Amino acid sequence: MVSTFLPCILGHSGTNTSAGNVPVRRDIRDLKDNFPDQWNLYLRGLDSLQRANQNDSLSFYRIAGVHGRPYKVWENAPGLTHKVGTAGYCPHGNSLFFGWHRPYLALFEQELYKHIQRIALGAPADQRQRYSAAANSFRIPYWDWGLGDKGGPVPDFFMTPAITIVDMDRITKVIRNPLYSYKFHPLVPGDFDSKWAQMNETVRWPQTENDPSAPSRNYMFAADFVDLQRVFLDGLEKAFRETTYNSFGQAIEEVHGWIHGTIGGGYSDSNGGQGHMWPLDYSSYEPLFWLHHANVDRLFALYQAQDPTRYLTPQNIFDSGNVFLEDNTVVDGTTPLLPFRRNATSFWTTNDARNTAIFGYAYPETQPWNYASSAEYRAAITATISRLYGGSVKAMLTDESDRVGTLGIHAQSAKNTTFTDWTITTKAAALDLPPTFVARFSLAGDNSSDPVVDVGMWTKLMPMDHNRSKRKIRQTQKKAKRAPILAKTLRGNVGLTASLLDQVAAGKLASLNSTDVVPYLRDRLVWKVYSGNGTAILQSDLEALTVLVVSVSARIPDDHSMPIEYSDKVTVHADATAGKTGGAMA
């Protein structure tokens, strides 16, 4: 029998309906530092949810299983008969990405909320009102991983097996840390395959791919995050430049994939095996998945608030189908988002999920009731996006030192600074590369023995077996020199400017002018592509990849709280990649 519960129903006792307010999802560091009662309830509630009977459709295990493995029907939500058991519900690589994850997070929030409510009701009589108030306004936290250096390192409380709380009886206790891992109880025969069927606990960055008992190496997670903080920040800056919902979603999904790799590990051939967060099939069992995706939802909400008129437009998903979508379906705001039921007869849609308030939450920045007008609210959102995600280039060119002059930018001050912004653009047919891959771009040193300087990544994250049969057919057709079946064209962008400014500051590059940059990149820009299991793809197999370098003129406005202004005129510099595998045609 179909359940009639509604994923949107939360504890509305925490909502000020007279003012239109809803409770706020907070950054997890803010929750820990400034809302100790909710922090302690969160840890206990998450631990309780993780311990729930795995046969319960509303347990952590079964909710996580909606995303990927074990590819089972959830709550009788109908999939395509020929795909049930071979594909999951989650839409990746298409424009339903934001809309689908919003009710998914709301479902998780609803069930965690119930556990927290039950825990609060068990408080000592003299503490019950206090903890009930904290429980009523609780919403799941997010982890803002996109702030660059100013965001700090990975929180240490992500990486310890045990954690200290002050319980409701005011006694300090040490409990199992539910943010560290999820323990399967038990592993269910047939639900997972290969090594995943033998791993009793989620892991991060295991030493090897071949040992299911290999423990987490959280120090690798922490180090990789620090190395890539600027890449994440600059990826968000590029995403917020996008002028359409669909293109913004594609850009954010790409950055989101980098975070999956940073938490899970295993995306290159030199750093050990894959942790659960890296393959989409298993990522939702990793506790940090929910913090990560809450932040992705927040970025979506910020983009919406900046210009509410920009929203999902109809788009062909090509070969990005799932258990409820055939390939080449045109999706739009009315496409049902299975398996999330809005009521007994209909499923949520992206249009239904447009406003976070319908699910009973907002974010610290998205509280329009705090502003006198919608115009004032949108202006504040624009300033917030610029302040938080203005990118490392803006920070490098507007600091209070004489850095502008030392970086070869021809301006007397940071005001009215114009410069040339550089980007790597990428393109490939989806069926010519593995479903999950990482293209890493670097600048080679002066000598072959010198370490390379990482520039950034182009990442695509899809289920491991996605369209395996179509890939084989296309490969066979191409080898036989027959017209291959059509494939979606994947596109990406990797920022170059910050890395080039580093080279200017180091005295290795004269300026950002094309006369200096193009020959520099021709000699030094290199790239490697890895499949989802970390295996390097041979250069001879990369003919499907196209890599170009482009530039635009950019200007930092007088008001540094405003975003950089970019010209619409794009210049392609074919010489920068000509002669390299995947580079421009000579």
Burial-class residue 169 by CB neighbours within 10 Å (0-12, 13-18, 19+).
exposed
Q: Report the pLDDT value the prediction gives residue 542, as an integer from 0 to 100.
A: 74
Tokens 């398996």 — which residue? Answer: 339
Q: Would you state the torsion angle of the CA atoms of residues 248, 251, 252, 256, taken in this order, to the nearest 10 degrees?
A: 170
Residues 6+ apart with CB under 8 A from 36: 166
- ∠436-266-226 over CA atoms, to 5°? 105
**Sequence-distant (≥ 6) Cβ neighbours of residue 421 within 8 angstroms:** 393, 497, 551, 552, 553, 554, 564, 566
Calpha distance 15→22 (Å, rounded): 5
Counting every residue written for the chain, the total comes to 586
Residue with tokens 């992206």, as numbered in its chain: 350
Burial (CB count <10 Å: 0-12, 13-18, 19+), residue 81: exposed
C-alpha distances in angstroms, 366 versus 303, 340, 363, 504? 10, 24, 5, 39
Residue ranges of the domains in the chain? 28-177+219-378, 393-576
- Residue 261 confidence (pLDDT): 94
The residue to which tokens 């809005």 are assigned: 342
Q: Provide the token pair at 343.
A: 């009521």
Q: Report how far residue 300's alpha carbon sits from residue 327's, in angstroms, rounded to the nearest whole number.
A: 25
The Cα-based distances of 242 to 9, 51, 77, 161, 186 in angstroms read 33, 42, 34, 40, 45
The CA distance from 113 to 491, in Å, is: 39
Q: Would the pTM of this model clear 0.85, i.e. be above it?
A: yes
pLDDT of residue 17: 46
The arrangement of strands across the sheet holding 437-443 comes to 453-460, 437-443, 525-531
pLDDT at 486: 56
Encoding tokens for residue 215? 């423990």
Per-residue pLDDT of the chain (586 residues; tens, 9 = 90+): 334 444 443 334 444 544 569 999 999 999 999 999 999 999 999 999 999 999 999 999 999 999 999 999 999 998 899 999 999 999 999 999 999 999 999 999 999 999 999 999 999 999 999 999 999 999 999 999 999 999 999 999 999 999 999 999 999 999 999 999 999 999 999 999 999 999 999 999 999 988 999 999 999 999 999 999 999 999 999 999 999 999 999 999 999 999 999 999 988 766 789 999 999 999 999 999 999 999 999 999 999 999 999 999 999 998 889 999 999 999 999 999 999 999 888 999 999 999 999 999 999 999 999 999 999 999 999 999 999 999 999 888 876 444 444 444 534 344 558 999 999 999 988 777 888 888 999 999 887 777 888 999 998 887 766 555 555 555 555 554 555 555 678 889 999 999 999 999 999 999 999 999 999 999 999 999 988 888 888 776 777 789 999 999 999 888 878 889 999 999 999 999 998 888 776 4
Contact in structure between 7 and 340 (CB atoms under 8 Å): yes
CA-to-CA distance for 304 and 143, rounded, in angstroms?
Answer: 19
28-177+219-378 CATH:
1.10.1280.10
Bridge partners, 84 (sequence order): 87
- Determine the pLDDT at residue 497: 96
How far is Cα 578 from Cα 133, in angstroms, rounded to an integer?
A: 63
